[in-house]
Amino acid sequence: MSVRTILFTGKGGVGKTTSAAGTAALAAREGHRTLVVSTDAAHSLGDAFGVPAGEEPVEVAPRLWVQQVDAQRRFERSWAEIQGYLLSVLDSAGVDPITAEELTVLPGAEEVLALLELRTQVVSGRWDVVVVDCAPTAETLRLLALPEALGSYMTRVFGVQRRVVRALRPVLTRAAGVPMPEDSVFDAVERLHRDLEEVQQLLSGPGATVRLVLTPETVVVAEARRSLTTLSLYGYRVDGVLANRVFPEGGGDPWRAGWVASQRQVLDEVRQSFAGLPVWRSAYSAGEPVGVEALADFARAAYDGHDPLDEPEGDGPMTITRTRAGAELRIALPFAQRDDVDLARHGDELVVTVGSHRRLLALPAALRRHAVAAARVEDGVLRVRFRFEQEEQV
Ligand SMILES: Nc1ncnc2c1ncn2[C@@H]1O[C@H](COP(=O)(O)OP(=O)(O)OP(=O)(O)O)[C@@H](O)[C@H]1O
Ligand SMILES: [Mg+2]
């Protein structure tokens, strides 16, 4: 049985950690072996449970485990080989060692390692459910785009280099005065590439979904809408929206009545915007939901009888169907308009740009040989038609 993986994301401070922790507490209570893990550098997951969370999973209640990935330490372990090479290059170029250290710390490296740890946990066989407390939206999107982007980069740069380097290593080292990477460096790069591919498959595959947390405020909802578009672009499946901090109705004072009215209006918009997705609600409580009990109660009230582990029905954001003359690739891009979307073919890749986000989509083998015949954006769906020329002539 595949592991049920649920990622929580949303704007800063809306209640991602609370929702992730609450969902995990509820799942554990219902009998599932559950891990809740944070990819966020802020260590708030431990605070929510009122325990110090460690680098290894810690059990905080029956079947409920919490983990805080310490990316820095893992970074040193997995990246050491590649970094070692880069350091030797910079050293021979006369860069002083401290500056060189700083230069070789890749931006985004911590996030990569959080992802690798997530994969380790999902494939470990220890868990039925893995809940991920993500960093705020922008970082999460960068994180989720990373496996594919980095993979494509590594294939290009290191794939070509390896062939050339192997043949020319002795000559180049002498001529350039720069050490050429050993095979072990390339092995390390390849391993990382494979691992990242697995992460991508795991998070866009069956059993994995993303949940958007928001508060009923116009600005927050606007960001959630953009996230839905971008997550779909990257092939991740969003399975619900959790509207948090809803002011309870009642009470006489005008301040509260004002908020209740304004939130009601925004909640209506949320339901319309995200039609087709469940919208769960949780009340703004009188105190912080902290500790296993309070978190489980928070989640139980929010899901209101729905199974928090339910998986969405229907297709994921990307589908390929055969047509009479070829095939059609469909990518759901909710809310996207024609002018927002740009499409280009680059060898075996389709480059899809939506606003400031870009996906380098490696075309499935079946489509690679065929030309793009047409593309359009309609009702939040990008349709790309491929024409199978050879077969037509047969
Ligand atoms: N429904 C609620 N009622 C009362 N307090 C809440 C509610 N939801 C969250 N909080 C509190 O609000 C604060 C922020 O929530 P939380 O840490 O879950 O947000 P976050 O989205 O993870 O924030 P960050 O972006 O900083 O990671 C916490 O102190 C939390 O206990
Ligand atoms: Mg948080």
Tens-digit pLDDT profile for the chain (394 aa)? 589 999 999 999 999 999 999 999 999 999 999 999 987 766 789 999 998 877 889 999 999 999 988 665 555 555 666 667 666 666 666 666 766 666 555 555 666 677 788 888 999 999 999 999 988 877 777 777 777 776 666 666 666 566 665 665 666 566 656 566 666 666 777 777 788 788 888 888 889 999 999 999 999 999 999 889 888 888 889 999 999 999 998 877 999 999 999 999 999 999 998 988 999 999 999 999 999 999 999 999 999 999 999 998 877 788 888 888 888 999 989 888 999 999 998 888 888 999 888 887 878 777 888 889 899 999 889 999 998 775 544 4
Give the type of residue at 61. Answer: A
Q: What pLDDT is recorded for position 170? A: 63
Question: Do the beta carbons of residue 35 and residue 65 sit within 8 Å?
Answer: yes
In this structure, what DSSP letter does residue 331 have? E
Q: What pLDDT is recorded for position 267? A: 97
Q: Which atom of ligand 1 is nearest to the CA of 287?
A: 4
**Type and span of the H or E element at 59:** strand 58-61
Q: Which atom of ligand 1 is nearest to the CA of 244?
A: 1
Nearest partner of 298 among 313, 308, 310, judged by Cα? 308
Question: Do the beta carbons of residue 237 and residue 204 sit within 8 Å?
Answer: yes
Q: Is the C-beta atom of 230 inside 6 A of ligand 1?
A: no
Q: Is the C-beta atom of 262 inside 6 A of ligand 1?
A: no
Q: Which atom of ligand 1 is nearest to the CA of 135?
A: 27
Nearest partner of 381 among 209, 267, 221, 233, judged by Cα? 233
Look-up of token digits 């996207």? 336
Largest CA distance in the chain: 83
Q: Is the C-beta atom of 216 inside 6 A of ligand 1?
A: no
Q: Is the C-beta atom of 136 inside 6 A of ligand 1?
A: yes
DSSP secondary structure of 155-174: HHHHHHHHHHHHHHHHHHHH
CA of 232 to the centre of ligand 2 (A): 23
User: In angstroms, rounded to a whole number, what is the distance separating the alpha carbons of residues 363 and 255?
Assistant: 54
Pocket test of ligand 1: the residue of 288, 290, 297 to mutate, having most ligand atoms within 8 Å of its CB, is 288
DSSP secondary structure of 200-234: HHHHHSTTEEEEEEE-S-HHHHHHHHHHHHHHHHT
User: In angstroms, rounded to a whole number, what is the distance separating the alpha carbons of residues 142 and 134?
Assistant: 11
Question: Do the beta carbons of residue 115 and residue 150 sit within 8 Å?
Answer: no
Q: Dihedral, CA atoms, 16, 19, 25, 26, nearest 10 degrees? A: -150
User: In angstroms, rounded to a whole number, what is the distance separating the alpha carbons of residues 16 and 251?
Assistant: 28
Q: Is the C-beta atom of 41 inside 6 A of ligand 1?
A: no
Q: Is the C-beta atom of 50 inside 6 A of ligand 1?
A: no
User: In angstroms, rounded to a whole number, what is the distance separating the alpha carbons of residues 269 and 271?
Assistant: 5
Nearest partner of 39 among 105, 124, 101, 109, judged by Cα? 109
Helix, strand, coil abundance in the chain, percent, nearest 5: 45, 25, 30
Give the type of residue at 231. Answer: L
Q: What pLDDT is recorded for position 151? A: 67
Look-up of token digits 């990373």? 146
> Tokens representing 373?
């015949």
List the beta bridge partners of residue 280.
242
Give the type of residue at 76. Answer: E
Q: What pLDDT is recorded for position 392? A: 47
**CA 46, 49, 50: angle at the middle one, nearest 5?**
80
Q: Is the C-beta atom of 121 inside 6 A of ligand 1?
A: no
User: In angstroms, rounded to a whole number, what is the distance separating the alpha carbons of residues 305 and 288?
Assistant: 22
Nearest CA to ligand 1 atom 2: 284
Q: What pLDDT is recorded for position 138? A: 75
| Cα-based distances in Å from 380 to 93, 177, 237, 317, 333 | 51, 54, 15, 11, 5
In this structure, what DSSP letter does residue 1 have? -
Number of H helices, E strands in the chain: 12, 15
Beta strands 129-133 and 4-10 are parallel
